[in-house]
């Protein structure tokens, strides 16, 4: 048996997209997703995304398995790729179209724009320690400029949830961070009961941030949409950035805006089809 798929990337954060509209259950298991994501023996990707029937009034439902088989609440770059994939399935190429997508982080609204970018209403950031979740601080308090010891060093961090947990630390040189060594130690730190994504952020200007990320369940990736959103929120909370920022990631730039009017975070960036194919399923 073979399964049709499409491979998309958003700033180098790449995903295998599967049309799963015939069932409420992903057509492959997490263990198979691990094999598919392997860059030597499989297709190669940071995760597998399934387009399922909508729930609670949404047009579609998003499920995603990371390259390690874990399931995150949602994925910012992934949902841009998913919106482009759905537009392709529906034959709405070169058309402006908006979708309501049900995710484990709530309803997310991506809009495929005529210029090829996708703008996503990412919703309101969640700022209390309980919502993130983290044990850094009292449950109802924001976690801003808190100290944490990781790998024998004290780090100053700010934590934000965009439906999934993020821990940001501002550094002098983001490129100097040894992500492969320090990233897993942040991810699995006992202060984060559901593990955490970790962003190392360098302030270039108040409207321009450089960021590198260790993603929970995926490791080093070239971009993280929810991480870019959380980074701008953290920048505003710490007085380091404007509400409207370009966030430079290894794979390119995202435009992020944390609106004062409605408290929602808006992300704009590209999503591109790489190739289509069929994968064997045992």
- Positions marked catalytic: 75, 224
CA distances from 128 to 131, 146, 161, 163, 220 (A): 5, 13, 9, 12, 26
Query: In the 8-state DSSP scheme, what is residue 142?
Result: B
| Secondary structure (DSSP) of 15-46 | EEEEE-TT-SS-SS-HHHHHHHH-TTTS---S
Report the SS3 class of residue 236. helix
70 within 8 A of 83, measured Cβ to Cβ: no
Beta-carbon contacts of residue 194 (< 8 Å; ≥ 6 apart) = 133, 165
């Amino acid at each position: 048996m073979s399964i049709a798929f499409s491979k998309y990337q958003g700033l180098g954060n790449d995903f295998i997209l599967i049309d799963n509209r015939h069932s409420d259950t992903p057509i492959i298991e997490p263990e198979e997703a691990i094999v598919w994501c392997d860059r030597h023996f499989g297709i190669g990707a940071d995760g597998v995304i399934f387009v399922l029937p909508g729930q609670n009034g949404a047009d579609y439902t998003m499920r995603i398995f990371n390259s390690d088989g874990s399931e995150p609440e949602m994925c910012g770059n992934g949902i841009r790729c998913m919106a482009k994939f759905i537009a392709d399935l529906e034959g709405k190429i070169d058309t402006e179209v908006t979708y309501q997508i049900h995710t484990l982080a709530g309803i997310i609204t991506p809009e495929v724009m005529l210029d090829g970018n996708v703008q996503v209403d990412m919703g309101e950031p969640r700022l209390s320690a309980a919502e993130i979740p983290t044990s850094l601080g009292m449950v109802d308090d924001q976690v801003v400029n808190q100290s944490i010891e990781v790998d024998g060093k004290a780090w100053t961090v700010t934590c934000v949830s965009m439906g999934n947990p993020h821990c940001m630390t501002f550094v002098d040189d983001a490129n100097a961070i040894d992500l492969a060594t320090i990233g897993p130690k942040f991810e699995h730190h006992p202060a984060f009961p559901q593990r955490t994504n970790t962003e190392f952020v360098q302030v270039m200007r108040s409207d321009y941030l450089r960021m590198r990320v260790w993603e929970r369940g995926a490791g080093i990736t070239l971009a993280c949409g929810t991480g870019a959103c959380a980074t701008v929120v953290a920048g505003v909370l710490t007085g380091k950035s404007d509400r409207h920022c370009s966030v430079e990631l290894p794979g390119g730039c995202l435009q992020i805006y944390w609106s004062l009017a409605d408290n929602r975070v808006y992300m704009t960036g590209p999503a591109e089809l790489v190739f289509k194919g069929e994968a064997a399923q045992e």
